[in-house]
Every structure is written in C-alpha cells, then in structure tokens.
Amino acid sequence: MKPIEKMEKTREGAIGQTTGGKQDVRMRIAVGMATCGIAAGAKQVMDAFNEELKRRNINDVKTVLVGCRGACRLEPLVEITGENGEMVTYVNMTPEKVARVVAEHVVNGRICIDYTVGTEVE
Amino acid sequence: MKMVNIKIDGKELQVPENYTILEAARQANISIPTLCYLKGINEIGACRMCIVEVKGSRSFQAACVYPVSEGLEVRTQSPAIREARKVTLELILSNHDRSCLTCVRSRTCELQKLAEELNIKDIRFNGEMQRKPMDDFSPSIVRDPNKCILCRRCVSMCKNIQKVAAIDTVERGFDTIVSPIYNLSLNEVPCVTCGQCINVCPVGALREKDSTEIVWDALANKDLHLVVQTAPAVRVALGEEFGMPIGTRVTGKMVAALKQLGFAKVFDTDTAADLTILEEGTELINRIKEGGKLPLITSCSPGWIKFCEHFYPEFLDNLSTCKSPHEMFGALLKSYYAEKMGIDPAKMFVVSVMPCTAKKFERQRPELASTGYPDVDAVLTTRELARMIREAGIDFKSLPDETFDDPMGEATGAGVIFGATGGVMEAALRTVADILTGKSNEDIEYTEVRGIEGIKEAKIKIGDLELKAAVAHGLGNARKLLDRIKSGKADYHFVEIMACPGGCVNGGGQPIQISEVRSVVDISKERAKAIYEEDRDMPIRKSHENPQVQKLYKEYLGEPGSHKAHELLHTHYAPRESYPDIP
Amino acid sequence: MQIYRSHVLICNDSTCAQLDSGKIMEEFGAQLKKNKLENEVKVLTAGCPGMCEQGPVVVVYPEGTVYTMVKPENVKEIVEEHLLKRKIVKRLLHKDMMEEGDTPAKALDDTKYFKKQLRIALRNCGIINPEDINEYIEHDGYKALEKVLTGMTPLEVIDTVKKSGLRGRGGGGFPTGLKWEFAYKSQDDEKYVCCNADEGDPGAFMDRSILEGDPHSIIEAMTIAGYAIGSKQGFIYVRAEYPIAVKRLDIAIQQAKEHGFLGENVLNTGFSFDIELRLGAGAFVCGEETALMTSIEGKRGEPRPRPPFPAVKGLWQKPTLLNNVETYANIPVIILKGPEWFASIGTEKSKGTKVFAIGGKINNTGLIEIPMGTTLREVIFDIGGGIPNGKKFKAAQTGGPSGGCIPASHMDTPIEYDTLVQLGSMMGSGGLIVMDEDTCMVDIAKFFLEFTVDESCGKCPPCRIGTKRMLEILEKITSGKGTEEDIEKLEILANNIKLSALCGLGQTAPNPVLSTLRYFRDEYEAHVKEKKCPAGVCKSMIHYVINEALCKSCGICARNCPVNCISGQRGEPYVIAQEKCIKCGTCMVKCPFKAIFKNV
C-alpha cells in the first residue's frame, strides 16, 4: 500500500477520537502522562485503572496515555470519554480514587462528581 | 573582488565586499579600538571593544566581524559608543589583577594601552574579583588566570592554528577561565610547550617560566665557567625589545651584551646547526641508500617532537635521531670543549638563548645528558635575555658590534637559516646535494622551500635522485601533512617540521608584537628576511664547509654518524599519552 | 491552658439544629478522634452567622472558611481534607466564596479556565496518545504534509506561512515566513532545518508539553519546512532534562519513518527528509540560536556574532532554518485551514495564539493558549482565577530573564509582541509570572539577575562581568547597604550591557532591572533612602516585634525560635533580640494571639 493510501485508510478506519480506532471500545480513559502528570503520580493511577479493569474483566474500555492539558496543578488528571463523546475530567486522582471511578462511572455510568474538575476550578 | 559602497563616519568608501567594518575603517585611517581581535587568528567579536553603530541595528555591532555590504552606514564615534566602550573596559579592568607595576607585560600590555587610549580614570564598577591559583608546573609556560581577560587568542592559537587544544574555556559566566581540561596543569596535559599562546596574549596571563634568576645566580658564582650560545632567530628579533624595527639584525650587539653580562664564552648555536646538517644529512643519505624508514623528519623543534610523541607516535621512527642543535652543542661543550680547555664539566654552566619556550622543557629531558651532566643548564628566551640586558643597565642600542668566541664561534649561512621555516631543509639540501653529486654546487638557494605557505613541497634533482621534500610549519599544518603521509596520499624522502608558524623566527620565546602591529606587519616574514640577509653575508654558506665542524670531526668525532657522534649528538623518543586518564 | 490550632464553630441556632447540626457536632467529635486531632482542633457551638437558608453552617478558624449546607456525611471530608491536609473543600463552600455556579463543571473544557482559551499549538495535547501515530493521523495528522507534497510548490508553502502572519514563538517574534524565504533563497548544496526545543526560561514549559503530548506535529512541520527551503536534514535540539519528550520524539520519528512520512522518498513523492535528535546539556544560552547551532556542531555552546544569519550561514556554515517548537506546532494547522483563517485570529501585527505558562501568585496555575490581543486582566482574572488570599495584583513578569514586568496600571493592554516591547518587556517563550502586593520588585529583579549571571556563557565582558556587577549592586540594595549612586550605576550598566553584549541573551539580561526601575523606581529608592523594603521581603530591612499589649507571655514564640533570640517570663511581654534574629518569621506564624508583627 502506498503511504498516502495507508494514511487515508487509517483516517477512514478510525471511529473518532474517543476510542482510538477500535470499534469494540465503548469508553476511553485518557491519563495525562506528561512530566507534570507522572511527577504527580499518573503512573500509579494508570496502573490502578488497568488493574481494576482487568480485575473486573472489562475489555471494552481502553486506557491511553496522553500529554498535558495545561492544568498541571490538577494532575494526575484523567479524562473519560464515553460513546456519546461526552467527556468527564477527574482531577488530583489517586489509585484509591480509581476503584470508585471504575465502579461508579465505568461500570454504572454514574459520574463521581466530587472528583471532577469542577470542585477545584471555576 | 567585487567592491561595495559604504559610509563610515560620513566618509564614502569603496571597499572589497569580503571586508569587515574594521578592515574598511583601517583602510580609511579611521581607528577603532580592539582587544580580542588578532588578525587571521582570533576574529570572534567577543570583547566588545570594537563596537560601532550600524544603521538599522538595535544594538552595537563588533566591527572586527561585521561584514560590509552595499549601502552600509557606520558610525565609529559617538558619546554612546564611547561610554559603552568605557563601561566594558572598566568591567574588564574590575576583574583584572591590576598589579601592573610588577607585571612582565608592563609597557607592552595591550589592556594597559587601551585603558590609556580610552582615557579611563576611574573604575566605577568594582566588585568581586576572580581568584584562581597560578599554574606554574610546566617547565615552559606559566599561566596566571587572574590576569586573563578571556580574549581567547591563546585558545584560538592552540586549538585552531596549532591544533593541540591543550587549553580552552572552561566553566561559564563569571567563573569562565581559560584552562586545560578538568583544571589540570599545563604540565599534565599534552601541551607541547610551543609558547605560541604567550606570543598572542595581550596581557600578562601567559608567560615563560622565568630562568633569569638561575642565570643571574650562575653569573655570580665565581666557581662556574659560564658558556652561552644563541640560536639564529634571536639575533634578528632581540632588537625589537629595544625599540628597533622588526627584522633588524643585532648579532654584534647581542654578543657584546652577553659578554658584558659576564659570560666567559659566547658561542653560536649555528655551529651546532652545521653539525646537525652533517649528522642528519648522513642519516638521510643512509636511509635512502639502505632503504631505511622514510620520510626522514627533522628533529630540531622540541615543540614538534613533543607533539609527535603525544599525537603521532607512529611517526617516532621517522624522526631523525639528531638532538636539537643547542643540545648537541651543550653535549660537545661539556665533552670536547671541556677536555680541550681543561675544565671540569661539573663546573660548567651552559646557557642557551633561544627563541623558544619548548627548549625549556627539552632541557630537562633526562635523556639529554650525554656527559652525565645536563647538556644545557638553562634556557633563556629572547625576551628574558632582553630583560637581563635591561636589568644590567646595558645601553643595548649603543653597544659596539662584537664577534662570537672561538673555538666554537664559527658558523655558516646554512646554520643561520635554521631560524626560518624551510631553513633546515635548505641547509640540508646544500650539503646533501654536494655529497651525493661529489661536487660543490653553485646554485644553493632553494627558494621553493622558503616562504610563508603552510605546507611547501619540492622535488629536487640531485644527480640521479629526485628528492621529494616537504616543509610544514605550525602544528596544524604538521597534522595536515602527517595525515596526508599516513593515508598514503603523499610520499617524501625528507620532511621538515617546525612547531611554530613561520619557524623559529616566530618562536614562543620571541619578542611579543601587539595585535595592532601584527595586523599590518607579517613579523615572521620580516624576521625571516633578516635571516636570509644574514645568510647571504656569510662567507661560508654550506654546513660541511664549516672549518670548525671539519676540525671537530677530525679531532674528536671521527665522521658523521660515528659511535662517538651518536653518543653525544643523537637521542631517542618515546610515546606520551595523548590525554591523561581521568579517574 | 490547652492551645488549639483550629476552631470549628457549628451553628446551633434552631434552624440549623433542625438540620442535623447536633449530628454534625457528634460526627466532628468522632472524626477528629479518629484522626487524632482532638487535641489540636476544638469544636464549639456558636450563634447564628445569619445564613440560615444555607444551613447548617460550619465555620473553620483561623481561616474563617464558611461551609454551608453541611451534611453529617460531609464531616469526614472536612476533617480529612481541611483540618488534616489544610485543603479547603471547595465544593461545600458558601457560594460567595466560590466564584461561580453551584454545580461544578464535569469536564475541563467547561471550566472558566478553558473557555477563554483557543488551542491551536496545543490542539492535540492531552487529547491524543503521543506514542501512537494513528491517533495523530485521526486528528488530521500528516494531512498538511500530504497537501504540501502533492499539491504545493515550495514558494507556495512559504507564501502561505508569510500570509498567515505567524511570528517566531521563541522570543523575538521574527516573521516566520520571511525566515523561511531567506533560507529558501540561500543557495547551497546542503541546508538544514532545526527545531529549538531547548526551553530554558524559568517556569516555561510549553515546548515540553507539546513534545510530550504531540511530537508528530513537530515532525510534520519540520518536514514541511524541509520541503519549503530545500533541505534534507533536520535536527531537534532538545534538553536532556526532558527525558519523556526525548523518548516520545524517538518513538514518533521511528513511527513516522515506518509510515513513510519521514526518511527516503516521503509519501512516494521523491522528497527525502530525515530528523535527528541532539540533546542539550542544559545551558540556558543554548536556546540562543547561534549558540544552539554551535552546540549541535559539537562545540562549547556559545553564541557567535550575527550577521551572518543562520539562514545564510548556520549549521556548519550552511543555510539553516531555525524555529522553536511552538512555532512549528502552528504550521500544519495553517497549511490545512489556510493562512486567512490563522490571520483572522489575534491582532493586526500579532496573529494566532500564544501559549503561556502562568504561575506565581495566581489561583489557576498552568499552561494556557490564548488568542493574541487578550488582555493581561483576562488572563489573570478570567482564566487564572485571580490572586490567592484576596491579595492585590501588583505586576506580571513576561519573557523570563529577558523580559520585564508589566505593572497593574497596564493590565488592560492587549498581549502582543509589540505592545509588550513598548512596555519594556517581551513575549519571550511565554513564561508569565504573577506577582502580588507582597512581592518586592527589587528582589524580583535580583532573582532574574541571579539566573542570568548563573547562565551567562562568559564569552563577552558586558554579560560575563556586567551582569555580575549588577547583581552585586542589587544585593547591596536589598541588604540595606545601597546608595542612590548605586541606582545610577545600575542604570549605566543596564543601558550599556543592552547595547554592547554579544548575543540576544546578554542584550536582554538587564530588562528585569530596567523595567522594574521604570515602574517601581520608588521601591528602589525606598530601599536606598529609607532603608525600607515596602513589600516586606528583604530580610535585612524588616524586623519582627512583639506587641506588649497583645502578648500573653505564653512562650510559644520563644520555643519555636530556631536561634533562641526571644526571651521573657511569665507575666511579662516577651522580647525579640533584634541583633540575633534571622527574620525567619516563625514566631509570627506560631503566635496564637497575633501579637507579633513584621515591621517594614
């Protein structure tokens, strides 16, 4: 395949930013893992998400590392995007908070409002 | 060259397009102060003394590096420029060890001169001064960081011209210092002691290791028999120290001064140069005839020898085993001469006056002590001799001419031209041609090996042999030539290498000429001119025709290359590490 | 007597009592015990503060934080967050203390912090996975490169960049299109494209963020630049202190090569371009373009005089195009959306957006991208959420050690290249440090000078010695030993260094001093004439005193003094021995009766 065609394919084949190109992914959990995030503990948060998802046998939720959104004081920052494209930003995440986010948000679709950005930023 | 129209201080000028503002201004007799600038060697715009106002530019620009272009308008004088130059100079002075009265460069210091020219009356911006230890561990060069103004001429010389890179700028900001790596001493790194750094230093941050005290002490010691010898390049430069024009020959006055200083005998190193030619010439002929290691490379320049040991040990077998002339002479003085005169060599003190700082290092090589005593006891640079003459209150300029002493005072034109690049080669060719052809050739001026070209090549027809020769001066050029030989791109019979650009006339021990002078005069060329004049005036111009040398072989050494000659006149070399292992 | 560090007041007014204030009280008792805070925090009932419609009300002192509509289940959080970690639970704050809205935003994009931003350079940061080229491609990645290689001539590309009005984002703001044109016009067999990722301004990290979050955008832009100027080789000069950026760039270069966006025969168009990384060792001066190139060449990173400019003689004396990370990050978008679109953003002379790293005395610190022309007021109060602790805004510092301070009086000036220069500052790479009334401007100038002195390469005397002398004078002034003559000397040095230093860094090094002298000369004069630091920062000019009337002789100050310079006895006010005092301020913080004052 010529590179241009390949590029077009990649572009077409993608279902959009939420799922990173996989049809069977219903939710994308993006963990900010730039220097600021990692320094604040994003690696542990990412690991916690992966573990929790694995423990619960959840296969249609994808975790990805992303860069910095600019609100470094709120790191570790996690953004969860659902099928409808709606995004929820969780801030100052910890591995402890992850369990609740997975249980409530990922499994039951209830946003953990007290962990979201709104409590920290106007 | 395309010309461009520019305007400096309102004057319309037409100058070649490759000129800098500084060159254009000087052509129009507009003077712009400089400090770090050294033509052809250090053009980096660092010191900010030559700043000028370029129309359309927000800040001032360094004239020494700013290229001219069509329509360029420049102002070199204004209250703002004068003030900026003053502020910068005061800043430099505020961190300079201003012990001018006791500085070796007092009167010849470019910083001192500039402070006077810019009418500095007060240093407004005093503050912390950098205090770093002096490095005087090298037998040749003393480094005083507290006088250094970081102009980097020495760095450019060592790194770009000599390609030795023993020193560079280390640390940064206010802590910046010119130093060998890891703040080691010059003695611990592959400094080849050529002393070119001293010659370009505008201040007293670099100077030769002083030997005047030792010599004064020896002169005062009635038990010692003091003998002095002078290298050929000294006599064409010493006059500069006393205000005489560059290229003035002062051989007679120099001998007179030395006698007045109290040396028992004043000899001419040229005699030993003639001896070198016979030994080295014989070595060359033998190597050619017997299929020895070629090219044969000259060994008169101790800076070059040290360089070879550090960086090109694979060429050590190519080096002539001949000692450098003054060492040969020293060995003969303490053997032949001592025996002849009935002097205990232990009570002899041999002083060499050299254009060279590397010879201070060479002198203390343990292998250069053929008689059991060091061949040479002290080496004075041309500058140091001048200092002694002044200290002794001798009115140099009005001295009558005197001649070298016998029995070792006679020399030839061939010995004299050792002082210029290509000189050893030419002297050797004069002798080798006669030996190989078995006749006395009339045509003895080999102009193809003369001149300032960095690497000179010549093919010389001697009988059936076409002798291929090359001459390099300056170690950067030496590198080029050696790399060419190493890669097989060139093959020669005979190669002359001198560590200093221009040869010994521009040695690291010669009188220092400031940047302003060096911008308009090629000092090597002027001094070399005097060397060749001296040669032309000599009644004998071939080494093997020197009656003194002939007598020496007859009475003492036998023939060139004899066992005795080897014992006294030859040496050996060993590789040195290129950079020390740093733990 | 038991001393408590905090007091919790719970309203036991009838309204609140009905609303479970009793249970809340009990819960506080239990939670404090659980967290072993019972000896540090005292819970009291109090009268009605008069917000019954929002009861039950809980007030925490000494902060005076008012929590409203508190439920028993919230108590645990207040104890654990506020009383244990001293973090205010904003969600429960009285609405006057919250800045907007009762319902907290769920997504970052909905916050006020984000709403005034416009993300072009940062478009993909935090959105895509930087280690997956597919995600970049999904977000229109490499589309601009395709457009350029398959349908545009180099001159058309340069024209597009010129028309967009994009100016260099690394400092000076030179028109990017012109730079490209100069490099294009320089004839030579070799040319280079360089990316300056040697971000060194204290507090600025936009380049790092882009490299870590969207490395492909830089690779794409450099490849486009290579095509435009006729170069086959690019270099990214990135600080070794950015290991994550380096790693992600490495991955991105590898992936781009695998996908045919980089290397031989890019996208089968016959155009070849490669990129190598060069790691900088952390010298600030290597962010200066000529020093950067000298460093890439393997030499000591020092600037060289210009002209010749890099576009004529750059890396290894060959024509070189040098732009910074943020500049490149704009290129693919400009190509795709067109120069007119880009030029429609911003002001007449400054187009597009600029990324700022906002920090200092501001609530919402972080990285923001705003359209050129946004005012400082909008940045500080709308995006930045204002100054913490109700303090007054004093000045903002932009441009890092090369920039200057913009005082409150100029807060409504639109942020763009030329206005900032007129104000005596500069855009710089985009550091924006906010200062409040407690900041001493002489001290700030000293801070930046310290940085410059540390980072001077040492090549030219005005910078090497001149900035050192300026710093010495500032140290003299801030230690109370300065004279009026010192201010004069400072000005002479500053003005002359600006004119005669070799490189841009040296020439701009005096800016922090010049700009503070311009707007806050009175503070300098107070330091030298009255030996006073009006902001109360310069230690030698402040002293702590104990108010005799307020002192209860408890001795806490004396016990906490690290140098034992406070003495006294029961029944009598304590005294600070001024000659021994190191002015650490601990006593003032520790005094439970607020009897210790800082005298300026």
In a mutational test of the C interface, the residue from A17, A91, A117 whose CB has the highest number of chain C CBs within 10 Å is A117
Please choose, from the candidates B15, B26, B180, B275, the residue with its C-alpha nearest in 3D space to the C-alpha of residue B582: B180
Task: For residue A97, give every residue at least 6 positions away whose Cβ sits within 8 Å of its Cβ, in sequence order, or none.
Answer: A90, A112, A115
Nearest-Cα residue of chain B relative to residue C307: B66
Residue found under tokens 């707007």: C519
- The answer to whether residues C227 and C150 belong to one domain is yes
Q: Is the pLDDT of residue C98 over 60?
A: no
B contact test, residue of C284, C453, C499, C503 with most B CBs within 10 A:
C499
Is C97's pLDDT higher than 50? no
Give the model's pLDDT for residue C522: 96
Residue ranges of chain B that CATH labels 3.30.70.20 = 93-208
Residue where a domain terminates, one of C376, C409, C436: C436
Q: What number of other Cβ atoms are within 10 A of residue B287's Cβ?
A: 18
Asked if residue C580 and residue C483 are part of one domain, the reply reads: no
- Residue A19, pLDDT > 60, answer no
**CB atoms B48 and C500 under 8 Å:** yes
Q: Which residues of B touch C492 (CB under 8 A)?
A: 83, 87, 124
Residue C81: inside a domain: yes
Domain span at residue C423 reads 353-436
Chains A and B touch (3+ CB pairs under 8 A): no
Please state whether at least 3 CB pairs lie below 8 Å between chains C and B. Answer: yes
**Block residue for tokens 């604040």:** A40
CB contact under 8 A, C464 and B174: yes
Which of C47, C65, C35 has the alpha carbon at shortest distance from C10?
C47
pLDDT computed for residue A17 by the predictor: 43
CATH of the domain at C366: 3.10.20.600
Q: Which ranges in chain B are annotated with CATH 3.40.50.1780?
A: 212-569
For residues C401 and C337, state if they share a domain.
Answer: no
Task: Provide mean pLDDT across the span C425-438.
Answer: 92
Q: How many other CB atoms sit within 10 Å of the CB of residue C30?
A: 14
The phi, psi pair for C596, rounded to 5°, reads -110, 135
Statement to judge: residues C338 and C205 lie in one domain: yes
Of B31-40, B541-550, C112-121, C325-334, the least confident: C112-121
Residue C137 maps to a domain: yes
Does A12 or C277 have the greater pLDDT score? C277
pLDDT at A3 over 70: no
Q: Which residues pair with B143 in a beta bridge?
A: B135, B206
pLDDT at position C171: 78
- Whether residue C409 contacts residue C366, with contact meaning beta carbons closer than 8 Å, is answered with no
Q: Using a CB-CB distance cutoff of 8 angstroms, which residues of chain C are in contact with residue B175?
A: 458
Q: Among B178-187, C86-95, C142-151, C285-294, name the one with the lowest average pLDDT.
A: C86-95
The answer for A 53-112 residues in CB contact with C (under 8 A) is 64-74, 77, 79, 86-89, 111
* Among candidate residues B129, B181, B187, the one with its CA nearest the CA of residue B155: B181
Quick check: C509 pLDDT over 50? yes
Model confidence at C315: pLDDT above 50: yes
The predicted structure's pLDDT at residue C100? 44
- C427 against C326, higher pLDDT: C326
Mean pLDDT of C342-371: 94
- Whether residue C173 is predicted with pLDDT greater than 80 in this model: the reply is yes
Provide, as residue numbers in chain B, all residues whose Cβ is less than 8 Å from the Cβ of C468: 127-128, 173-174
- pLDDT for C99 equals 44
Q: Which of A11, A35, A119 sits opposite C212 (nearest CB)?
A: A35
In tens, the pLDDT along A93-115 reads 999 999 999 999 999 888 888 88
Answer yes or no: CATH 3.30.70.20 is held by domain B93-208.
Answer: yes
Yes or no, beta carbons of C139 and A121 under 8 Å apart:
no
The low-confidence residues of chain B, meaning pLDDT below 50, are 583
In angstroms and rounded to an integer, the radius of gyration of the C-alpha atoms of chain B is 25
C168 and C315 fall within a common domain: yes
* C408 and C556 share one domain: no
Mean pLDDT computed over C123-135: 94
Check CB contact under 8 Å for B87 and C456.
Answer: no
Query: What does B195-214 look like in DSSP terms, one character per residue?
Result: -HHHHH-SSTTEEEPP-HHH
Out of A34, A74, A121, name the one closest to residue C209 (CB).
Answer: A34
Q: Name the CATH superfamily, with its identifier, for domain A19-119.
A: Glutaredoxin (3.40.30.10)
The per-residue pLDDT for C23 is 83
Catalytic residues of B: 280, 283, 300, 320, 359, 362, 367, 504
Q: Are residues C210 and C312 in the same domain?
A: yes
Q: Which amino acid is at B402?
A: E
Pick the residue of C459, C473, C489 with the most B CBs within 10 A to test the interface with B by mutation: C459
Residue C426 and residue C508 in contact, taking contact as beta carbons nearer than 8 Å: yes
| CATH fold group of domain B3-77 | Ubiquitin-like (UB roll) (3.10.20)
Cα(C474)–Cα(C442) distance, integer angstroms: 7
Q: What pLDDT is recorded for position B540?
A: 93
Tell me how many degrees the CA angle B570-B576-B580 measures, rounded to the nearest 5. 160
| CATH number of the domain located at residue range(s) B212-569 in this protein | 3.40.50.1780
Chain A neighbors (3+ CB pairs < 8 Å): C
Paired strand residues for C360? C434
Are C32 and C73 found together in one domain? yes
DSSP state at residue C186: S
Give the residue-averaged pLDDT of C54-64: 73
The verdict on C364 and C338 lying in the same domain is no
Residue with tokens 């290298």: B231
- Let me know if residue C465 belongs to a domain: yes
Instruction: Answer whether residue C364 is part of any domain.
Output: yes
Name every chain C residue with its beta carbon within 8 A of the beta carbon of A109. Answer: none
Indicate if the pLDDT at residue C127 is higher than 80.
Answer: yes
| Token couple for B132 | 């770093």
Q: Is the distance from CB of B459 to CB of B468 less than 8 angstroms?
A: yes
**Pairwise CA distance, residues B331 & C44, whole Å:** 105
Number of domains present in the structure of chain C? 5
* Each residue's pLDDT tens digit, B388-426: 999 999 999 999 999 999 877 788 999 999 999 999 999
3-state secondary structure of B348: strand
Structure token digits, residue B152:
């980097």
